[in-house]
Amino acid sequence: MSTSVRNVEPKTLWNHFADLNAVPRPSKKEERVIQFMVDFGASLGLPTVVDGVGNVIIKKPASPGMEDRQTIVMQSHLDMVHQKNADTDFNFDTQGIDMIVEGDWIKARGTTLGADNGIGVASIMTVLSSTDIAHPPVEALFTIDEETGMTGAMGLVGGLLDATIMLNLDTEDDDELTIGCAGGIDVTATGTFIQEDTPAGMQGFTLSVKGLTGGHSGMDIHKGRGNANKLMNRILYQAANQFGLRIAAIDGGSLRNAIPRESFATVALPNDRVDDFKKFMAEQAGILKTEYGTTDSDMQVLCEATDAPAHLTSADFQSKLLRSVYACPNGIYRMSPDIEDLVQTSNNVARILVKDGSYSLQCLTRSSVDTEKMDMATSIKSAFELLGADVSFSGDYPGWTPKPGADIVKVMNDLYSEMFEGKANVNACHAGLECGILGTNYPDMEMISFGPNIRGAHSPDEKVQISSVQKYWKFLLETLKRIPLQKPA
């Protein structure tokens, strides 16, 4: 890890971030980072507890003179998305993130950085460890497994927190104050298929669609970026119809909440169609690079001859699979009719795995309207049921209904205008923030989310802007000073 990160201002925040990034913290494997936070709280002599699902809560009394202010929750999640470039040799389970400074940005070498949501965690750690920051009574809430199910937020029971205001530090534009978000649900289709021996006279190929931009399947879904799973399916569908291509295996995408950057397929086709197929693949590479030249300039569409695979999917299954994936919606389904430029409902065809007689197709459907979310999920379910798949829903979480009249919204909106040029963008987002879930057990708590500029979250291109962190940090410190007085009982 580059020591230069530790010399960036504000140094205490960046040093806490560096310490955090030295701890492997994949979703659903947070044991080490939970212990890291427990040890941190204990080192400060602050009351620290771990709840029944693994969330860590650390409480700190108000700084002198701030005892009459409302108690606040400062909240961020401990886990991070683990994505790396195919040519990067890195083990997320054992290695800390290798960070580098490039001009005004901090990024990682070939992997995700963990600024989502590590900057928020480090900010809270800085407040907790400080002796000179003015702040009201603070309850620090570090949740687990936000990225793959929000099970930490879902498992937080009522009564553990006394705060009346929550500052969620998990958004990615420093001019935004987020006061609402989308809910989501996972749609997973699984099943088995009959394998057939590969006939004689077939040539094998490995097909690759890679180098796409990818990104966050909520925050970046409106940017029109290519989905490697859908693009691979498009190629396979056409090649099956034109050249008798047969599929042996498909492996595309990775995480449910990341726009797929790569997809690979093992296929075979008759020897007498090989030359025409190679021309077709070259044509498809040109077509797709033209269509996605603006959003995915590094896209590669490759075709490499290999030995013919021993087994293929049955022709009937292949036909149904390709049509089902083609029929499955991807990207924006509906824009909000009420909030300008807000994606209301979308779907991400996140993961396709077809191998050794079984298959799994995974989607993440998002919407700020729960009824529309379930309608779209049912539409996807129906498409995959036509394939004969067993389709399940899981990880259902609610959206967060905006309350633009909340006191904390007014305080922070006015403060932003006072401190910086222009007005804050008070909005709702299409990402799945934890506020909606946490609010189910704390319905009277006012909530707001903000953060510094983070780009490329959920992809190896993730980076965070140094000057933006400095701006955000000043804004946070001033916000802590202006938390409203306690309300009469």
In the sheet with 138-143, reading across from the earlier edge strand, the strands are 48-50, 56-60, 138-143, 72-77, 165-168, 446-449, 176-181, 425-429
Region for 213 from its dihedrals, namely left if φ exceeds 0, alpha if ψ lies in -120 to 50, beta otherwise: alpha
* Under 8 Å between Cβ of 94 and 24: yes
CA-to-CA distance for 82 and 484, rounded, in angstroms? 39
Long-range CB pairs of 472-479 (<8 Å, 24+ gap) are 472/174, 473/10, 473/13, 473/123, 474/419, 475/174, 475/415, 475/416, 475/419, 475/420, 475/450, 476/123, 476/167, 476/169, 476/450, 477/133, 477/134, 478/415, 478/419, 479/167, 479/411, 479/412, 479/415
CA-to-CA distance for 95 and 93, rounded, in angstroms? 6
CA-to-CA distance for 464 and 113, rounded, in angstroms? 8
CA-to-CA distance for 270 and 275, rounded, in angstroms? 10
Half-sphere exposure of 349 (CA within 13 A, CB side): 29
**Active-site residue 146, yes or no?**
yes
CA-to-CA distance for 231 and 249, rounded, in angstroms? 16
Question: In the beta sheet, which residues pair with residue 178?
Answer: 427, 449
Name the catalytic one among 30, 116, 139, 146: 146
Would you state the structure tokens that stand for residue 213, as one six-digit string?
């931009």
Name the catalytic one among 79, 139, 173, 186: 79
* Under 8 Å between Cβ of 101 and 4: yes
| Nearest residue to 328 (alpha-carbon basis) of 250, 389, 415, 279 | 389
Catalytic residues: 79, 146
